[in-house]
């Protein structure tokens, strides 16, 4: 058998050249990541929208004469009409509601101290004893604590509204980046996935498995969590409106946001209101809201979330909950997607490692 001969020092397959190429790849990858970091949310949502609407693009493609650009433009129009415009309208309405609430608090139209005083006077003796242990039995002390909490919360809400107005340009740019990326990923997504897949040093079956898990988790998490959040927020807002609670739309938005937290999300809003009704003597309102919250709002979370999220992702419920909480703690609101996604990819990677061993 002939010898392969000496390796030339200029041969790109030498260890030295391979190490240099690896260093170059790491450097340029980190540089590109630092450039794209300010738009990571826009890029993420562009990828998510493309994953959600690519099936519609494939269905539409033969109906427009197999013209990918036309089909992608039509799909993007659908995205604008059924996703972007409704979400933007809801955000504007919520901002207006938050601004109204803040102005009402500042002008005294809504006086938290009055509500606190009414509730405090109706507290039973055993609850007063508990408050006494924490040094809160004095109404003035309790009022200072609660009023400070409400003032801090209202300032935070007003700050967010002001920040939203200040960052309108940034929001428009991010939205443009997301939609621009969505168009090209819908049109050229299959080619892009194949090109990236060829660069991943894994067996084709393992690459396919990772990509399938990635797409499945993203679709299930977004559709499941957002659907549950919208339903719970709408049900909670409807109950608040029926019971005459001020700012029902704002509370509905808050419940929808907190509903991204599994199990306890919406209850953080409706439960204190139900307790206030019970303490102040509005028994039927408090009992009705409690029963409605447990049997209707809570039932949506208990029935739909495991079916829409846990079943498709094949993740245990406790993994979904912990990864969602951890993701939101690290990445903010986008963490409800990134948390379960990272957990699913972690489990899949270790499963592949075990199979290859």
Tell me, what's the pLDDT at 327? 84
Structure tokens at 263: 């199990």
Backbone dihedral region of 314: left (phi > 0), alpha (psi from -120 to 50 degrees) or beta?
Answer: left
- φ/ψ region of 66 (left if φ > 0, alpha if ψ in -120 to 50, else beta) reads left
Q: Give residue 331's Cα distance to chain centre.
A: 9
Model confidence pLDDT, tens digit, residues 62-117: 888 888 889 999 999 999 998 888 888 877 777 777 777 667 666 766 666 666 66
Burial 161-179 (b: 16+ CB within 10 A, else e): beebeeeeeeeeebbebbb
Q: What is the pLDDT of residues 290-344, one digit of tens each?
A: 888 888 888 777 777 666 665 556 677 677 778 878 888 888 778 878 888 888 8
**55: nearest Cα among 198, 195, 219, 192:** 219
Question: What integer is the mean pLDDT of 208-229?
Answer: 79
**What does the pLDDT average to over 180-193?**
85
Cβ-proximal residues to 137 (8 Å cutoff; 6+ apart), any chain: 128, 131
Q: What pLDDT was estimated at residue 3?
A: 47
Chain position carrying tokens 């969590």: 225
- Alpha carbons 255 and 233: distance in angstroms, whole number: 5
Are 255 and 293 in contact by the 8 Å Cβ rule? The answer is no
Which of the pair, 156 or 299, is modelled with greater confidence? 299
H/E/C letters for each residue in the chain?
Answer: CCCCCCCCCCCCCCHHHHHHHHHHHHHHHHHHHHHHHHHHHHHHHHHHHHHHHHHHHHHHHHHHCCCHHHHHHHHHHHHHHHHHHHHHHHHHHHHHHHHHHHHHHHHCCCCHHHHHHHHHHCCCHHHHHHHHHCCCCCHHHHHHHHHHHHHHHHHHHHHHHHHHHHCHHHHHHHHHHHHHHHHHHHHHHHHHHHHHHHHCCCCHHHHHHHHHHHHHHHHHHHHHHHHHHHHHHHHHHHHHHHCCCCCHHHHHHHHHHHCCCCCCCCHHHHHHHHHHHHHCCCHHHHHHHHHHHHHHHHHHHHHHHHHHHHHHHCCCHHHHHHHHHHHHHHHHHHHHHHHHHHHHHHHHHHHHHHHHC
Q: Phi and psi of 65, rounded to 5°?
A: 75, 30
Residues 146 and 116: beta-carbon distance below 8 Å: yes
Q: How many other CB atoms sit within 10 Å of the CB of residue 25?
A: 10
Most confident of 87-91, 154-158, 190-194, 270-274: 270-274
> In whole numbers, what is the pLDDT of the chain averaged over residues?
76
277: pLDDT strictly greater than 90 = no
Q: Which of 19-23, 148-152, 223-227, 265-269 has the lowest mean pLDDT?
A: 148-152
Choose the weakest-confidence range: 20-34, 196-210, 298-312. Answer: 298-312
Instruction: Pick 43 or 125 by higher pLDDT.
Output: 43
Q: Which residue has the tokens 């604008």?
A: 80
213 closest CA partner among 314, 326, 337, 325: 314
């Amino acid at each position: 058998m002939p010898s392969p001969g000496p390796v030339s020092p200029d041969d790109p397959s030498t260890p030295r050249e391979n190490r240099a190429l690896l260093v170059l790849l790491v450097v340029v990858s980190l540089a590109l990541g630092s450039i794209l970091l300010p738009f990571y949310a826009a890029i993420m949502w562009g990828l998510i929208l493309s994953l959600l609407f690519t099936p519609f693009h494939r269905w539409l493609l033969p109906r427009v004469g197999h013209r990918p650009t036309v089909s992608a433009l039509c799909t993007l129009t659908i995205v604008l009409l059924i996703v972007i415009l409704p979400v933007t309208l809801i955000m504007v309405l919520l901002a207006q509601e938050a601004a109204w609430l803040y102005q009402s608090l500042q002008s005294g139209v809504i006086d938290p101290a009055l509500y606190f005083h009414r509730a405090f006077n109706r507290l039973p003796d055993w609850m007063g004893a508990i408050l006494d242990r924490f040094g809160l039995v004095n109404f003035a002390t309790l009022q200072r604590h609660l009023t400070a909490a409400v003032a801090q919360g209202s300032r935070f809400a007003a700050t967010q509204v002001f920040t939203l107005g200040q960052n309108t340009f940034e929001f428009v740019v991010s939205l443009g980046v997301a939609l621009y990326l969505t168009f090209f990923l819908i049109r050229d997504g299959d080619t892009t996935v194949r090109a990236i897949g060829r660069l991943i040093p894994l067996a084709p079956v393992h690459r396919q498995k990772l990509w399938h898990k990635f797409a499945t988790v993203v679709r299930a998490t977004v559709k499941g969590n957002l659907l549950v959040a919208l339903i719970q927020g709408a049900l909670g807002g409807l109950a608040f409106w029926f019971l005459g609670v001020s700012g029902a739309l704002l509370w509905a938005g808050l419940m929808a946001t907190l509903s991204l937290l599994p199990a306890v999300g919406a209850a953080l809003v409706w439960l204190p209101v139900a307790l206030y009704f019970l303490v102040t003597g509005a028994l039927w309102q408090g009992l009705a809201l409690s029963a409605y919250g447990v049997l209707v709002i809570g039932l949506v979370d208990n029935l739909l979330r495991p079916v829409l999220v846990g079943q498709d992702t094949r993740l245990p419920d406790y993994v979904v909950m912990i990864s969602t909480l951890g993701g939101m703690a690290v990445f903010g609101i986008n963490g409800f997607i990134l948390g379960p996604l990272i957990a699913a990819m972690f489990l899949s990677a270790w499963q592949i490692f075990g199979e290859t061993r």
